[in-house]
Amino acid sequence: MSHALRIGGFVPFTSIDYPEQLSAVVFCQGCPWRCGYCHNQHLLASRSTGLLDWQEILEKLHRRQGLLDAVVFSGGEPTLQKSLRDAMEQVKNMGFKVGLHTAGCYPDRLQALLPLVDWVGLDIKDLPENYLALTGAGGSGNQAWDSLDILLGADISLQVRTTVHPGMAKDHVEQLRTNLSRMGVTDHRLQACR
């Protein structure tokens, strides 16, 4: 039996985390990468005090059936946790659409989860060769771009998001946009680094 999902935060109602759907957001604890601009530093450690109870969140979601369209798993990096699959199955069985925010750290796990997922927001931080300096993790560029390949080859709604960090010149951003467009990305959002 898998362990319960470790959760560092929960937003019961939002209209901005899944396109055109009212959703709740589950912030999963833990991320294998360490981006300097991460604005969710408290979610990075795999273990932490003050975690929320998944059963209590399920009860809250149960009370919102018919009011919410979707549940979004965000983080941290949700695919870090093996128990994500069970959690997705549970909310899917409750009639919610399933959204996933991911940085694409684990392409194989992402692939395995796709039958359960209705929409993905994928962070593409930069061109693959620039990832190590951003994330501190060897191989992270290939992992993220392999995840993009998988999603583009799947029948799934996809939004690619890029945080424009201080080291990114305008022509660099344009190069990234061009590469993504050539690969077939039709929904690419830039967001400012906070």
* Min separation Cβ 11 and ligand SF4, Å: 16
Q: Which residue has the tokens 């018919």?
A: 66
Please provide the distance, in angstroms rounded to a whole number, between the alpha carbons at the two ends of the chain: 39
**With binding defined as CB under 6 A, does residue 28 bind ligand SF4?**
no
Please answer whether residues 43 and 27 qualify as being in contact, where contact means their C-beta atoms are separated by less than 8 angstroms.
Answer: yes
Query: Which of 3, 34, 60, 82 forms a contact with ligand SF4 (CB under 6 A)?
Result: 34
Cβ–Cβ under 8 Å, residues 100 and 127: no
Contact with ligand SF4 (CB under 6 A) among 26, 38, 110, 185: 38
Near ligand SF4 in 74-103, by CB under 6 A: 75-77, 103
Type of residue numbered 74 = S
Residues 93-152 that bind ligand SF4 (CB under 6 A): 103
Distance in angstroms (rounded) separating the CA atoms of residues 193 and 176:
16
The structure tokens listed for 96 are 């919610």
Of 68 and 168, CB closest to ligand SF4:
168
- Using the rule CB under 6 A, give the single segment among 7-15, 26-34, 86-94, 173-181 that binds ligand SF4: 26-34
Do residues 118 and 158 lie in contact, with contact meaning Cβ atoms separated by under 8 Å?
Answer: no
Binding site for ligand SF4 (CB under 6 A): 31, 33-35, 38, 40, 44, 75-77, 103
